[in-house]
Amino acid sequence: MGTWGPHPFENDHAWDLFAELAELSDGEKAGRLQKIFEDVIDNPADMASWPVDAMVGATLIALALPGGTAVEEYLTEDDAEDDWRPAMLPEPSPELIFSAARALRIVTAPGGWWKSSWFEDEDRIAALGHVQVIADVLQSGFGTPLTDGGAL
């Protein structure tokens, strides 16, 4: 996987997922995203549940919510070209928002692959900043504290 920055959209895998989601109806997008989140939630230690998919999915959900502009501010000029917009689900359900938040917490938990995958401390710190903004927007989308494990 090619990664060129710390934002969840700054990797080849994210753009592959955008292309896949862009071809789906809103109902199919919701189902695909829910499956990604459930794979992580049901199998948190299983690397077959690719953390990047959950991160990208959670970011797409956050962008669709009130407050999503805070996430969009972190996009680089290349990312802001709007190629990711067709992958968005315009009105995610509260259940999907909650699943996105849970999956995000799991893949970014201390000791997990995602946190240890950064070679440069500066990139890890920037990535964690992006994750915190995404988590805050998702949290505001369902309004109750998330207490099922994992922490930023």
The alpha helices in the chain, defined as continuous H runs, are: 12-22, 26-42, 51-63, 69-72, 94-107, 113-116, 121-142
pLDDT mean across residues, the chain: 82
Q: Are 146 and 134 in contact (CB under 8 A)?
A: no
Q: Are 85 and 29 in contact (CB under 8 A)?
A: no
Q: Which residue has the higher pLDDT, 48 or 16?
A: 16
Contacts of 3 (CB under 8 A, 6+ apart): 10, 11, 12
- List pLDDT tens digits, range 111-150: 777 777 778 888 888 888 888 999 999 998 876 555 444 4
Domain ranges of the chain: 12-142
Q: Which residue has the higher pLDDT, 146 or 2?
A: 2
